[in-house]
Structure 1
């Protein structure tokens, strides 16, 4: 094999090998789960798949997800500069607070309250979206949904007990 071919082959193989090794070191392909797996919380689409939804229900849910995605993209595009400026200002306040010679308890409380308020707004919007999605279900499906969620919670509690015991 000529030297040029060897160099090209090495240029392709080495990054792939190192990339694969770093992916495994980081936790493999499922690193997004952050170690929580199905215990990560949130709205579980896996449970929704077990509810024997009708085609009409599936279509409604799909439309809701797509509408939400479109809304989020539009909101992000429209307010990017304003949102980015707010984020930078917030980071500057946090950095100023933690790097100051003396800790300002009042400023920390004010900053924490603003953070909690934003988090609360996001949580309420998320719960509203979940409510809309679950309103598509029949009473029987809602009962099954609650059962599946409680089973999942029990499994998660057992996993947590195992982790704490180790």
Structure 2
């Protein structure tokens, strides 16, 4: 009886483990309504740009950067889908081999986790680089104003979050 329960539990847990690991490895998660710093909690969106009184030249330069980023992302994601699928499958097989092995290989787990962290770090650095390029268009006064606007938004966001957390109690 105990063995049957273990098998049922393993059968239920494995798809969850594989799905979660794969989603995080390939940049999943964060697809819902969560926007973090890029959303209304301190980001740099159209509403903020209107508040900064950008010149026409600044608007044109930012638009050009956004279009270039969009084209770059399209090219990156429209690449060889078979190659991407093969990489995803290989990653999934590594995860599966690790969790289904008779003995847990901590070194292999650390290696796999390191690869996942490295990919995430590369994505974050690229994102920060693009944000820096966009912010370099602003004048020092606009940067100061942006900091104030973002701080105000962060305060409002924190207040909303606190209210939500208190409501759940």
* TM-score (normalised: structure 1): 0.70
For structure 1, the residue ranges without an aligned partner over 5 or more in a row are: 1-31
Q: Deviations over 1:35-74 (max 9, x none)?
A: x4xx622243132232111111111111111111111212
Structure-1 separation of matches of 2:142 and 2:81: 39
Structure-1 separation of matches of 2:108 and 2:81: 27
- For this pair of structures, how many residues does the alignment match? 132
Conserved? CA contact 1:51–1:145, under 8 Å:
yes
Task: Say which SS state the counterpart of residue 37 (structure 2) adopts.
Answer: coil
Structure-2 separation of matches of 1:89 and 1:44: 37
Conserved? CA contact 1:57–1:136, under 8 Å:
yes
Conserved? CA contact 1:47–1:145, under 8 Å:
yes
Structure-1 separation of matches of 2:109 and 2:130: 32
Q: Give the corresponding residue for 2:16.
A: none
Q: Give the corresponding residue for 1:76.
A: 77
- From the superposition, tell whether residues 50 and 101 of structure 1 become closer, same or farther in structure 2 (CA, over 3 Å): farther
Conserved? CA contact 1:33–1:40, under 8 Å:
no
For structure 2, the residue ranges without an aligned partner over 5 or more in a row are: 1-30
Higher helix share: 1
Task: Say which SS state the counterpart of residue 107 (structure 1) adopts.
Answer: helix
Q: Give the RMSD, CA atoms, in angstroms.
A: 2.0
Q: Give the corresponding residue for 2:154.
A: 153
Structure-2 separation of matches of 1:123 and 1:160: 25
Q: Which has the larger radius of gyration?
A: 1
* TM-score (normalised: structure 2): 0.69
